[in-house]
Structure 1
Amino acid sequence: MPDKDKHIHVAFVGNPNCGKTTLFNAITGSKLKVANWSGVTVEKIEGEAKYEGFQLTLMDTPGIYSLTCYSIEEKVTRKCVMDEDVEVIVNVVDASSLERNLYLTLQLLELGKPVVLALNMMDVVEERGMEIDLHRLPEMLWDVPVVPVSAAKRTGLDILLHAVVHHYEEEPKQNTLFYGEGIEEKIAKLEVMMQAHYPLHSSVRWHAIKLLEEDEEVKNEHPISVTNVVDKNYEKEIIQTKYSYIEGIVNEVLFYRDKKKANTDKMDALLTHPIWGIPFFLMIIGFVFFLTFTVGDLLKGVFEIGLDWLSGSTDSLLVSIGTTAWLRSLIVDGIIAGVGGILTFIPNIFILFLALAILEDSGYMARVAYVMDGIMGKVGLSGKAFLPMILGFGCTVPAIMATRTLETEYDRRKTMVVTPFMSCSARLPIYVLFSGMFFSDYAGLAAFSMYGIGMIIAILVAKVINTIQKGKANDSLLIELPEYKRPNARTIRIYVWNKLKEYIHRAGTIIFIASIVMWFILNFGMQGMVENPGDSFGAAIGKFLVPVLVPAGLGMWQIVVALIAGISAKEVVVSSFAVLFGVTSANSETGMHSLVANIQSIDPQFGPLNAYSLMLFCLLYVPCIAAVATMKKESGSWKFTLKTVIFQLTFAWLVSVIVFQTGSLFF
């Protein structure tokens, strides 16, 4: 029986998107300890588990492709696995992408620590009609335990923990690849030198190999004279040997993959074509927005009917119980109009996230990043920068956090500046509302243009920054293009539900509070509660700033107040318009007509050009406060963050003014 006091520290390591975090969460449950690694913004996540009397401390590390590190996350993971406290490494491998994943596996084995291979996504392998020889694979990896698991279905977890405990108790074996007589002779000499200088070091072979590769970090951390041994950089030869061995493994253990690969190659000939790839991407995204409007608008009628019923019933109930007028106004005109108006956009949001989830899970979004890589390089952005930009279509906060994968601070900050120009889901309600109000049959095209303009402006701004600062892209995008597959219904359901839940949560928290604040500043002034919103605090603020927006065709104090409120969350722009112009369900057909009438009663000239200028301003001006806070956290600089915010506000104003003034000459 094992000693009940025994404690094992286990690190979960794997490529990005291999299901590592899902597996980690399945084992540890929800009781996690989250902190930041020392000196960096990357999160450190730990969990606990028990198995056969052993207490396991499990650590989830950022996804990496190899232990040759450039980005912050890669350096953090390497530092973690090198830590003496880590006693067992669980290498989570995507079984459907063995060739890519096994390169990291071979590097981990050279560390000399116990490694257990968690072969994840076996259901995907079966779905693709492939088979893996689970007896031959561990043999070719020097008898490393290989455990088939499914993080999504929570299968194989007990067997994995058993392998961790059993492998921890075994005597360590030398699991290593033979690089040929010449290189092995040099490795042996370097091992002797390492042991002489660092006798307690446990990973001398791995460090010897890294010295042959002239790894700068290893050379700095373990400064020994290798002049008589290392006569050149052997990284290329070492990599070639690894991949040759991996090719042999894949050929021997993986069956029936050729047919699937052939189908993928045929599709990629068109979808990743250097000329036709971008037009196809635009066509696909355009179709997504066609569905977002046509199907979404058919479904939103149900929400509008429900909101009208709730508003009327609540008002009647409050009257019947003698509620004071100000409280009735707060609940009906403030909270229900504000929060409820946002909830009516759920069908449109649902369709958008459903389509994006299908494109992501099918393997297409990786192609988009590949197709855009050439453009990224021409404007001075790292090829990897397009990945955070794609995330920006969902939410700016994780998109800014994703800049951690970039190698240099210059690339990270430049990407942080342009990523907010990608239209996040919170801006969609703005596009839906104003394009529906002023562009009728062309509403989908008007909204879609915001996404295209955002991408183009992000690229152009990156080019200007690069020209001014005389920088250059540091690398091209290295990305594996996975085989196309039928999207998994469960994966899509989880993704869409999490996004909708986040949207509803924002409606119940940030937008709820913003609606109350908005109601307050519109119903109170210097003399207390006012009947005319024009005498309120909100009107005073708006009228003070409205001259600034007159050149952009946005010369109403109500618009100024709505835009200021939108800094809390972009959806609040819509809820603010509903409250400011006294419309309960702004997204309904009746509500849109009422909103247009109320706006034009103040400014009869306000039309499609003004609405388009407003949509552009909402696209380009400062992102939500959560995104600004994330930018400060990731950059570590208030100065950079404030300069970025000022630039975005100025740029949004400038573009809106140019578009409106130019358009006024023709319309």
Structure 2
Amino acid sequence: MTYTVALAGNPNSGKTTLFNELTGSSQRVGNWPGVTVDKKEGKLKGHKDIIIQDLPGIYSLSPYTMEEVVSRGYLVDQRPDLIVNLVDGSNLIRNLYLTSQLIELGIPTIIALNMMDIVKSNGDVIDKDNLSKILGCPVVEIVASKKQGTKDLINEIVKSENKLSLPNPLKYSGELEEALEKISSEISGSVDSKLERYLSIKAFENDEDMFENISLSTSQKENIKSLREDFEKKEDDVAEGIVTTERYEALGEVGEKVLKKAPPKLSTTDKIDKIVTNRILGLPIFALVMFVIYYIAISTLGTGATDAVNGFFEDTMTPAVADFLTNIGISDVLVSLATDGIIAGVGAVLGFLPQMLVLFAQLSILEDIGYMARVAFVMDRVFRRFGLSGKSFIPVMIGTGCSVPGIQASRTIENERDRRITIITTSFMPCSAKLPVIALIAGAFFKKDQALVTFSFYIIGIVSVIISGIILKKFKEFASDPAPFVMELPPYHAPRVTSVLRDMFNKGMSFVKRAGTIILVSSIIIWFLSNFDFSFKLVEAESENSILAVLGGYLAVLFKPLGFGQWQSAVATITGFVAKENVVSTMGVVLGIGADLDETNRQLITAFNQAIGTPVAGYSFLLFNMLCMPCFAAVGAIKTEMNNNRWTLIAIGYQMAFAYAIAFIFYHLANCFVYKEFSFMTILAILVLIGVLYLIFRPVKYKEEKRSYKLNFARK
């Protein structure tokens, strides 16, 4: 028989880290909400019969956010055997607000007092024995990030099986307690006795989602309503506000008994935050940090390793495989498939792996030390100026690794209209699959400014999200006020080497797996189509008579207005819809340059001049491929999150139209300024620009309709 333990706590209290330690899970550790959207499950180390359910990070059991809906629904309906409540000891009273609600559920509870190293470094003292006595449940001190105290917690969990008594709910003022007792007498025969205290409070607060699932007579409901209204009139406040005030007053009394704080002083975290979250300096610092990160990954540390890998594929692996296959009598066609198809395609993508790993490591360090949480805080100010919520920036940041989890992270946004906008725009950010494409084209056309060009697409991604948010908010289907954004800013700490390496390894392996599956299959298909004609006769590589060249010629017409109307670039763009890395592998195959995509290779530069043309056309090529519809996996995530075919098509349609318009405007206006070319297409580009500006600055005609949402927590 299994014993179920629910792990509950505030966001950024170290809950995911503790879950990893308790279960041995390799789930990613982060510093922002959204890493754990749904509850996660794992078996307690050494105890297969004890199941740990990791609930989303929440601040309370009031269902205002999707995380709170999931957590409350599970705790009330599923009734775990035990709750392990993770409490950030450095923010004790605020974290105990959730604790005060959990202990009212009538479920045995253990308090895991985390971040005790920070508590001690601050000079604070927590009397855990007295806290345990007041709350009526065990309290265990831990430091989850350093694996301190977790064995004691595991022992306490094991000992608790069928042996723990129920915790002691907080007692409020006499008048409120009297009112709750009257409500309790009204509902006592209709609810589980263990839930009686919790449901009495919910009935007093007029929480309809809970109240409506209690079988009461009309007179009982009227009695409770009358009692509530009289109390609200007397206190001149709504019932929920009254309970909140009482909770904090009760917790204040608890704090006086168990917490001894050191004299206040400005911590290192506070000193740093005065600079990095400054209204004026915050954004420039963020831009500088990201530029340095891309510069290190693309132009310095990652470049040497990338050149070495490219050289290995081209100078060592390709001739070795060709010689081996030839010596054992394999036909020239299959040798070409292996070298010009598989190695050229897959090798072209894997050649960028070192740069990707350097980028992954740097981003993971920024996240682990706590800086990325500050970035979300800074960007919330920017987003709100344009009617967007800082909550939308969290999925956008996650999307820099991969658009799929970024899109999925939009679940944390409770405003449905803001959520749709976030789903549509998250893939505008350059994800790990797009980085090799940027590095390749930037290296071929902008060698001296490669890092700057790469960084520019990070800025373009953010600006595109903001512009799209402004445009979409002007339409009735998206009009709404920005959702409120509350976020914990964790203290700064040194990056954990194991966490950074694990994150880098997981993302790197994901990149390699895609190269070994999707890119491999795509490379074989591209090789076949580029080496055979419609009669299935072998033709010369790069022949204009190949199936790929003929089909690409028809597709090229679509992209000619964007500056890259050659069949090679058109085909690369289309294959990029399957997986963005395909753009690189396709170029490696159709241009006949193998896996050696070294940006200093004159053959590469000449080939790209033929396939794309000028540097302006190259930048336009990147603009379209970065902003258009994402890979099939991300499109699948969009469909899942939208849960509606119409909205999925709207999302893809907007992404394609936006990308085409931006690339079209840039190409023709840049041609006008750089090459002094002025034509009818230049005039058309100006008109399109005027149209985009109109959509941005036109007056708002619609406002969000105020709607009430009803949540169903009925027991099955």
Q: Does 1:597 align with 2:613?
A: no
CA contact (8 A) 1:381 1:415 kept: no
1:484-503 maps to which residues of 2 (within 5 A)? 484-503=492-511
Give the aligned residue type for 1:58.
I
Q: What is the match of residue 221 of structure 1?
A: 213
- Note the C-alpha offset of 1:366: 0.9
Unaligned 5+ runs, structure 2? 28-35, 233-237, 675-716
Q: What is the match of residue 547 of structure 1?
A: 557
Q: What is the match of residue 298 of structure 1?
A: 304
Query: C-alpha separation between the residues in 2 aligned to 1:427 and 1:251?
Result: 54
Q: What is the match of residue 534 of structure 2?
A: 526
CA contact (8 A) 2:447 2:599 kept: no
Q: Does 1:360 align with 2:354?
A: no
- Note the C-alpha offset of 1:633: 1.0
Shift in alpha-carbon separation, 1:599–1:50, aligned structure 2, 3 A: closer
1:551-630 maps to which residues of 2 (within 5 A)? 551-591=561-601, 593-601=602-610, 606-630=613-637
Q: Does 1:211 align with 2:206?
A: no
Query: C-alpha separation between the residues in 1 aligned to 2:92 and 2:505?
Result: 30
1:426-441 maps to which residues of 2 (within 5 A)? 426-441=433-448
Q: What is the match of residue 657 of structure 1?
A: 664
Q: Does 1:61 align with 2:68?
A: no
Q: Does 1:106 align with 2:100?
A: yes
Q: Does 1:190 align with 2:200?
A: no
- Note the C-alpha offset of 1:214: 3.2
Of 259-268 and 495-504, more deviation after overlay is shown by: 259-268
Q: Does 1:20 align with 2:26?
A: no
Q: Secondary structure at the match of 2:87?
A: strand
- Note the C-alpha offset of 1:405: 0.7
Q: Secondary structure at the match of 1:598?
A: helix
CA contact (8 A) 2:22 2:45 kept: no
Query: C-alpha separation between the residues in 1 aligned to 2:324 and 2:537?
Result: 23
Q: Secondary structure at the match of 2:228?
A: coil
Shift in alpha-carbon separation, 1:448–1:652, aligned structure 2, 3 A: same
- Note the C-alpha offset of 1:573: 0.8
Give the aligned residue type for 1:584.
G
Give the aligned residue type for 1:177.
L
Query: C-alpha separation between the residues in 1 aligned to 2:522 and 2:380?
Result: 40
CA contact (8 A) 2:350 2:515 kept: yes
CA contact (8 A) 1:99 1:247 kept: yes
Q: What is the match of residue 181 of structure 1?
A: 174
Give the aligned residue type for 1:167.
S
Query: C-alpha separation between the residues in 1 aligned to 2:467 and 2:262?
Result: 42
Q: What is the match of residue 91 of structure 1?
A: 85
- Note the C-alpha offset of 1:96: 4.9
Q: What is the match of residue 264 of structure 1?
A: 269
Q: Secondary structure at the match of 1:56?
A: strand
- Note the C-alpha offset of 1:600: 2.8
Shift in alpha-carbon separation, 1:435–1:107, aligned structure 2, 3 A: same
Shift in alpha-carbon separation, 1:491–1:47, aligned structure 2, 3 A: closer
- Note the C-alpha offset of 1:160: 2.9
Residues 573-605 of structure 1: per-residue CA shift (max 9 Å, x gap): 1111111101123431444x21221233466xx
- Match of residue 635, structure 1, among 617, 635, 642: 642
Q: What is the match of residue 514 of structure 2?
A: 506
CA contact (8 A) 1:137 1:249 kept: no
- Note the C-alpha offset of 1:624: 1.0
Of 558-567 and 163-172, more deviation after overlay is shown by: 163-172
Q: Does 1:172 align with 2:165?
A: yes
Aligned residues between the structures: 648
Q: What is the match of residue 524 of structure 2?
A: 516
Q: What is the match of residue 486 of structure 2?
A: 478
Query: C-alpha separation between the residues in 1 aligned to 2:372 and 2:205?
Result: 33
Query: C-alpha separation between the residues in 1 aligned to 2:579 and 2:191?
Result: 57
Query: C-alpha separation between the residues in 2 aligned to 1:349 and 1:46?
Result: 31
1:367-382 maps to which residues of 2 (within 5 A)? 367-382=374-389
TM-score, normalised to structure 2's length? 0.84
Query: C-alpha separation between the residues in 1 aligned to 2:257 and 2:148?
Result: 26
Q: Secondary structure at the match of 1:577?
A: helix
Percentage identity across aligned positions?
36
Shift in alpha-carbon separation, 1:323–1:258, aligned structure 2, 3 A: farther
Query: C-alpha separation between the residues in 1 aligned to 2:374 and 2:393?
Result: 11
- Note the C-alpha offset of 1:483: 1.6
Q: What is the match of residue 401 of structure 2?
A: 394
- Note the C-alpha offset of 1:85: 4.0
Give the aligned residue type for 2:50.
L
Query: C-alpha separation between the residues in 2 aligned to 1:15 and 1:188?
Result: 30
Residues 442-465 of structure 1: per-residue CA shift (max 9 Å, x gap): 111111111101101111111111
Shift in alpha-carbon separation, 1:55–1:229, aligned structure 2, 3 A: same
Shift in alpha-carbon separation, 1:332–1:637, aligned structure 2, 3 A: same
Unaligned 5+ runs, structure 1? 1-5, 33-40
- Match of residue 351, structure 1, among 358, 370, 373: 358
Query: C-alpha separation between the residues in 1 aligned to 2:468 and 2:171?
Result: 49
- Note the C-alpha offset of 1:439: 1.0
Query: C-alpha separation between the residues in 1 aligned to 2:488 and 2:142?
Result: 22
CA contact (8 A) 1:345 1:587 kept: no
- Note the C-alpha offset of 1:15: 2.5
- Aligned CA RMSD, in angstroms, stands at 2.8
- Note the C-alpha offset of 1:158: 5.1
Residues 266-314 of structure 1: per-residue CA shift (max 9 Å, x gap): 2222211222211221111112122122221133222123222111211
Q: Secondary structure at the match of 2:61?
A: coil
Q: Secondary structure at the match of 1:147?
A: strand
Of 164-173 and 341-350, more deviation after overlay is shown by: 164-173
CA contact (8 A) 1:433 1:586 kept: no
Query: C-alpha separation between the residues in 1 aligned to 2:274 and 2:117?
Result: 27
Give the aligned residue type for 1:361.
D
Residues 98-152 of structure 1: per-residue CA shift (max 9 Å, x gap): 45433222211111210112334556667x5666546346436524212344656
- Note the C-alpha offset of 1:522: 1.6
Q: What is the match of residue 313 of structure 2?
A: 307
